[in-house]
Amino acid sequence: MKQQIIISGLGGQGALTLTRLLAEAAAALGLDFITSETHGMAQRGGTVISMVKVGPFRGPLIPAGTADVGLFLHRRNLAAHHFYLKPGGVVFINSDIPGDYHNIDASGLALSHGWPPVAANFILLGFAAARKGLFCKVELLAQIISAIMPARFLEMNLSAFRTGVDQAV
């Protein structure tokens, strides 16, 4: 099993949370993995990217043109980070505009449920998992969310995740 995933967003959109959930999922499946994150100055509302490499990799970075999956938390980031995807790589994108990729208006859905904007990341994750874009299944991710997210956000996070799953049909 080898899968390389990029998670692209703006600082504060919760890219790091998705990275951690996918890492936990890989660990639960007994798969090798290494991840890479953005910290520091760029987190201040700038464009950030995380990478998850599942399989026998050693380096934390995904070379340009080789990512299997892209999770884009903001459509603006497509221009900046699409080049990481390999030809035929699968893109899931939080966008209120329909398009050629797996588009979902996760921010709009979060707003309509009265959740804070950051909940869009769980919606996008549920959507991508249910569309079978990820190395791990919906149920495993739901279990991991339940296991590691703080209790006070758990219900909202799970609901957001399920909302994304429901949209995948």
Partner 1 sequence: MESKLINGDTHRILMGNEAIGRGLVESGCSLAASYPGTPASEILPSVTAFAKEEGLAVHTEWSVNEKVAYEVALANSMAGRRSAVSMKQVGLNVASDPFLRSAYLGVKGGLLVIAADDPGPHSSQTEQDSRFFAMFAKVPVFDPASPQEAKNMVGRALELSEKYELPVMLRPTTRVCHARQNIPLYEPLKLERPARFEKNPPRWCATPQFLRELHRLLNDKIRRIAAASDFFPGLASGDGSFPTTCVVASGVAFAHTWDILDEMGLLGRVDLHQVIMPFPLNRDFIDKIKQRYARVLVLEETYPVIELQLAGGAAVHGRLTSSVPSEGELTPEVIRQVLEQFLELPQKTAPAHPAGGGSRPTLCAGCGHRAAFYAIRETFPEGIFPSDIGCYTLGLNINAVDTAHCMGAGLSQAAGFYHAYAADGGEVPAIVATIGDSTFFHAGIPALLNAVLQKARFILVILDNATTAMTGHQPTPESGLAAGGTPGQPVFIADLVRACGVKFLKECDPYDIPAFQGLLKEADRYCRSPEGAVAVILAKHPCVLNKQVGSEQKVFQVEVTEECIACRHCLDEFECPALFMSEVTGQAAVDPLRCVGCGVCVHVCPTGAITAREE
User: Residue numbers of the site for partner 1 (CB under 8 A)?
Assistant: 10-12, 19-20, 23-24, 26-27, 32-47, 57-66, 76-77, 79-83, 107, 111, 117
Smallest distance, partner 1 to C-beta of residue 57, A: 6
Burial class (CB in 10 A: 0-12, 13-18, 19+), 28: middle
**Of the two residues 59 and 132, which places its CB atom closer to partner 1 in the complex?**
59
Nearer to partner 1, 25 or 130 (CB): 25
CB closer to partner 1 out of 101 and 168: 101
Shortest separation between residue 14's beta carbon and partner 1, angstroms: 13
Nearer to partner 1, 32 or 168 (CB): 32
Termini Cα distance of the chain = 26
What is the nearest approach in angstroms of partner 1 to the Cβ of residue 62?
8
